[in-house]
Chains A and B, each alone.
Chain A
Amino acid sequence: MTFTEKCKTRGFYTLIGAALLFLVYTQSFVGMVGFLIIFGIPYFAMHDLPLYATTKDKIGKYIFLAVCTMIFIFLITPILIIIPLSFNAEPYFTFTEGMMSLDPEAYSTRWYEDIWRFGMTAPDGTENWWGDMWNNATWIRAMRNSFFLAIVSTILATGFGTLAALGLSRPEMPFRSAITSLLISPMIVPLVITATGMFFFYGGTMQGIIPGYEKGLANTYLGLTLAHATLGVPFVIITVTATLSGFDRSLIRASEGLGANGWTTFTKVIMPLITPGMISGALFAFITSLDEVVAVIFLANVDQRTIPRQMFSGLREQISPTILAVATILVLMSILLLTTVELLRRRSERLRGLSPG
């Protein structure tokens, strides 16, 4: 049944009638829109029922779809709702009257400006404005720390992780399950425990062991990088071994049979096939580091604050919509990363002939 046909059935009129009743009862237009979303989507999604389906089956399916719609709304609303909230003109975490009536006065980008203005010595000054922003603005500094840590720790985790995944996916690998369990455990062990261990070990035991770090690795970028690389490793291992598990090993034998040496086989056959998985793993490690806050709480001082650390203290101390503005930017970034990972996954499946395309 097409969309227009669906709009001419008895069920559709019942739905509209119920929505109007709802409007009359609650006197709220927004409420009716919500009602239409929750009960209208399942109505239009009901199309693949077999001919022998009874009324009971239909009602059951309808309720099932309505429940699923509500769950999807539950999943996505909190993430979407912060986007309009971040344009609030008032310093509140909630929609104001003006925002509800779409008054342009009630919206502003002041919280976005706050991202680079907050913490600057002279936000309205002209002399050396860029230098001031780059070095003093709290969020800009947090952003620099976050990206630096994320990039370096991703390189570490991806390098070590891919190498290990190559070993783990070989059929002759000894102690496979024990080693895999060890390599996955940074994801399983509660972060507080990992961070506590690192706090003692990096801060205390490592004192005077590494030249240049006589006071230990606490409050240093090196310590934080090691911590974040450790936490990113499981994601790289999981993603890259998943890619390798569908890997046709006869390709390696074919390459060797045709006279390629180990290095040529690796660069010309293995690498192109595992690169999508490797990039996905790296993106996972990147987002893990970018999102990590517990290790930063334990191991970093004020100079090394990252974006999530700044959000954490912001939420605890002075809640301001600047956090929502930053959050909106982060959501946009996750959308970008997710799209990349999805495209890579499809490309990798196509390369390996797992999906029609």
Chain B
Amino acid sequence: MTDATISNADAPLLAADGTPLKEKLALTTRRMKMRAFLLTVPLVLFLILSFVLPIGQMLYRSFHNPAGSNVMPNFAKAIKGWDAEQGTPGDDIIKIFVTDMAAARKNREVGKTIGNLATRVNYEIPGSRSLFTKTARRAGKITEGPYFDALVKIDKRWDNPNLWRTLQRVTEDYTLSFYLAATDRKYDETGSIVLADELYRIYLPILWKTIWMSALITALCFIIAYPVSYLLSTLPLRTSNLLMILVLLPFWTSLLVRTSAWIAMLQKSGIINNVLVYLQIIADESRIQMIYNITGTVIAMVHILLPFMILPLYSVMKTIPPSFMRAARSMGASNTYAFTKVYFPQTIPGIAAGTLLVFILAIGYYITPALVGGSDGLLISNLIADHIKKTLNWSLGAALGTILLVVVMVFYWIYNKLVGVDNLKFG
């Protein structure tokens, strides 16, 4: 028996059924991996259908807008090769333009009416809408050339090569112009990219405001959450569990409930103003406007996002033994020194988790700013919703959404690297 084992030392170990053990092991491991993976497949497929594809399609919409080529398919092909440097296009192209216009006017199909094209061009040249509706109305009556002169007779603006340059750009299916609009840039007359006039810059300022407001909210949450988490982590378990309810109850309470509560608290005839007047700190006439502005948004959002900061801080602080601080103190460190050199560095993982989570959640917030933000407390999300629901400039809304998504994803990636998604916990 022992002889046989020694003499076969070089031969591979065999499993019970005669296959080499190594292969058998690899097979089993693969099978177990497969089994674990298969458990997640239903949810992954579900999320791809209900979440990933919708967002992917929105991203696609932000640079794909076929309005121009849908309305004027033949003209879109014809104008492709035309070079704007040679002045207005030749009469053959214009003839196609006129026939396409006349055909589009009769078309009632959704997405292929002259109105769709006019809206699309209007994004590029504000005020050009009437030019298209007017021209389309008369295009049917133009039966013979020279077509160019006939167009100019309808409106002098057709004699401008830059208008045709815009049309050429608009009839392309893939465009970056919505991203330009979303970053307050546009094509100028000659087709180069310039920053919009100062008066018309809306989106970049709002994006910056969103970022600094989120940073401010995160900072305030941190300042408020740190002492509370410290207290909770040092108290005996029974007391801290009791106090934890004060943190978790807001967390479990509806967002709308908390927002309406803050309206009741902060409005001009609200509780805080009433108390201040009652305590004679302010006069009845000079009640403070604390809502429908940035202040209201910041206060309400700090309150709403605070649990997301307290919970990760608390779970990290709970693991720090109190004896560390005592050791530092007994070795002669002052309170401040022991805190900054011993305690604080150990809480950094919790700080990273809390601040990143609060920042990520704050930057995409919609409901609270919409309700208590008034006009200057609005964030980028509110603008996106406006473009989707009210102005119906869907491609611009999608482009703004993509920019916001990229910012959020960058922070999510950082969160993943620093904290790890598996460390996310509630309570």
Contact = CB atoms under 8 A, between A and B. Distances in A.
Nearest to A82: B261
B364 A327 contact: no
B13 interface: no
Contacts of A71: 224, 227-228
A263 interface: no
A226 interface: yes
Nearest to A223: B50
Contact of A200 (B37, B394, B424): B394
A190 B405 contact: yes
Interface size class of B (residues with CB under 8 A): 35 or more
A316 interface: yes
Contacts of A175: 37
Contacts of A290: 254
B426 A239 contact: yes
Contact of A94 (B255, B264, B401): B264
Given A68-B227, A72-B243, A238 B270 contact: no
A233 B51 CA distance: 11
Contacts of B405: 189-190, 193
A331 B257 CA distance: 8
Interface in A302-327: 307-308, 311-312, 315-316, 319, 323-324, 327
B264 A26 contact: no
Given A190-B405, A196-B401, A338-B249, A164 B42 contact: yes
Contact of A327 (B260, B275, B424): B260
A183 B47 contact: yes
A196 B388 contact: yes
A111 interface: no
B202 interface: no
Interface of A: 26-28, 30-31, 57, 60, 64-65, 67-68, 71-72, 74-79, 81-82, 85, 92-95, 156, 160-161, 163-164, 166-168, 170, 172-177, 179-186, 188-194, 196-202, 205, 226-227, 229-230, 233, 235, 238-239, 241-242, 245, 284, 287, 290-291, 293-294, 297-298, 307-308, 311-312, 315-316, 319, 323-324, 327, 330-331, 334-335, 337-338, 341-342, 345
A338 B245 contact: yes
B164 interface: no
Q: Which residue of B33, B40, B249, B280 has the most chain A CB atoms within 10 A of its CB atom?
A: B40
Contacts of A226: 50
Nearest to B225: A71
Given A200-B61, A338-B245, A166 B39 contact: yes
24 contacts: A30-B278, A64-B231, A79-B257, A93-B270, A94-B271, A95-B274, A170-B36, A172-B29, A172-B33, A179-B40, A179-B44, A183-B47, A189-B364, A191-B381, A192-B364, A196-B401, A197-B57, A205-B57, A241-B422, A287-B254, A307-B256, A308-B256, A312-B370, A324-B260
B58 interface: yes
Given A74-B224, A173-B33, A338-B245, 12 more contacts: A68-B231, A71-B228, A81-B264, A92-B269, A167-B37, A179-B44, A180-B421, A188-B412, A190-B366, A238-B425, A308-B256, A324-B264
Contact of A81 (B37, B241, B261, B306): B261
Contacts of B243: 72
Interface in B223-237: 224, 227-228, 231
B289 interface: no
Nearest to A175: B37
A31 B275 CA distance: 8
Contacts of B29: 172
Interface of B: 29, 32-33, 35-40, 42-44, 46-47, 50-58, 61, 224, 227-228, 231, 241, 243, 245-250, 252-265, 267, 269-271, 274-275, 278-280, 303, 306, 335, 360, 363-367, 370-371, 381, 384-385, 388-389, 394, 397-398, 401, 404-405, 408, 412, 416, 420-422, 424-427
A71 B313 CA distance: 16
Given A81-B265, A188-B412, A334-B252, A193 B228 contact: no
Contacts of B256: 291, 293, 307-308, 311-312, 315, 327
Contacts of B250: 75-76, 78-79
A71 B365 CA distance: 23
B130 to A, nearest CB: 29
A263 to B, nearest CB: 14
A308 B254 contact: yes
